[in-house]
Amino acid sequence: MKIFTETPKFILREIVEGDLMDMYELDSDPEVHKYLGNKPVQNVAQSKEIIKSIRQQYDTFGIGRWAIVDKATNDFVGWSGLKYETMSLNKQNGYYDLGYRIKRKYWGKGIATETAVEALKYGFTVLNLEEICAAAHIDNAASNKILQKVGLKFIETFEYDGISCNWYKIENRSKSTI
């Protein structure tokens, strides 16, 4: 099992088949999916397909969402990290997307922020990306705050499947020219 990076409190590692029940717990919670524009999973088989898709991203693009594991308890807290997005969103194709999804019992503890910072560092220093993007439902105050807190800049509001979303971007400062 590959560990991509760590924070003082968390291990950020690849998502594996052994995470199946934790992924199901995460993605079957309607509150977790409130601002995602999709429906919670209805069964474990759907979570198994999600894990399969994430593992395919590792193979195809060398990056995908990471499991967040609490160092003190070894609990699966959720996922965070980068994904190479091929789906057209906001007229963007082929971009690296920053995302996170945390089990509700861990909300409000700064986990998404802490792990998003590490994902950005990894994207810029290890993958040498030029920019990283993200989108958040306009009413998801927590997610919009996190994206701005970790340095992404608001670009515009756009509609996706009838939902108003905010579009964010951050550029690799080491690639900037003066």
Nearest partner of 76 among 97, 47, 42, 38, judged by Cα: 47
Six-digit token pair at 44? 């474990």
The CATH number covering residue 29 comes to 3.40.630.30
The pLDDT confidence band at residue 177, using thresholds 50, 70 and 90, is very low
Task: State percent of the chain over pLDDT 90.
Answer: 85
SS3 127: coil
Question: What local confidence, expressed as pLDDT, does residue 161 receive?
Answer: 81
Domain that holds residue 49: 3-175
Q: pTM here? A: 0.92
Per-residue model confidence as pLDDT tens digits over 142-153: 999 999 999 999
Q: What are phi and psi of 95, to 5 degrees?
A: -140, 160
Question: What local confidence, expressed as pLDDT, does residue 163 receive?
Answer: 87
Q: Where are the beta strands (DSSP E) in the chain?
A: 3-6, 10-14, 66-70, 76-85, 95-102, 131-137, 153-160, 163-171
The pLDDT confidence band at residue 162, using thresholds 50, 70 and 90, is confident
Question: What local confidence, expressed as pLDDT, does residue 39 receive?
Answer: 81
* Structural domain total, the chain: 1
The pLDDT confidence band at residue 75, using thresholds 50, 70 and 90, is very high
